[in-house]
Amino acid sequence: MPPDGLFDDSADDTRTAIMEATYQALVEYGYADLTIQRIADEFGKSKSLLYHHHDGKDDLLVDFLEFILDHLEEGMTLCEGTRADERLRSFVGALAVPEDAESEEFAGIVVELRAQAVNDPDYRDHFTRSNRFFRDYIADIVRDGIEEGTFREVDPDRTASFLLTVANGAMGEYVATDRPDAARAVLDELDAYVEERMLKEE
* CATH numbers and ranges of domains, the chain: 1-76 (1.10.10.60), 79-198 (1.10.357.10)
At residue 67, does pLDDT exceed 70?
A: yes
The model's pLDDT over 20-37, given as tens digits with 9 standing for 90+, comes to 999 999 999 999 999 999
Residues 6+ apart with CB under 8 A from 9: 16
The model's pLDDT over 114-165, given as tens digits with 9 standing for 90+, comes to 999 999 999 999 999 999 999 999 999 999 999 999 999 999 999 999 999 9
The CB-side HSE value for 96 (13 A sphere, CA atoms) comes to: 26
Asked which of 2-11, 55-64, 104-113, 168-177 is least confident by mean pLDDT, the reply is: 2-11
Query: What's the mean per-residue pLDDT of the chain?
Result: 88
Residues 6+ apart with CB under 8 A from 83: 145, 148, 150
pTM of the model: 0.89
| 151 DSSP β-pair partners | 199
In terms of Cβ atoms closer than 10 Å to its own Cβ (0-12, 13-18, 19+), residue 178 is: exposed
CA distances from 200 to 137, 193, 194 (A): 21, 12, 10
Strands (E) across 8-166 are located at none
Residue 30 per-residue DSSP state: T
Q: Name the strand (E) or helix (H) holding 185.
A: helix 180-193
Q: C-alpha 142: how far from its chain's center?
A: 19
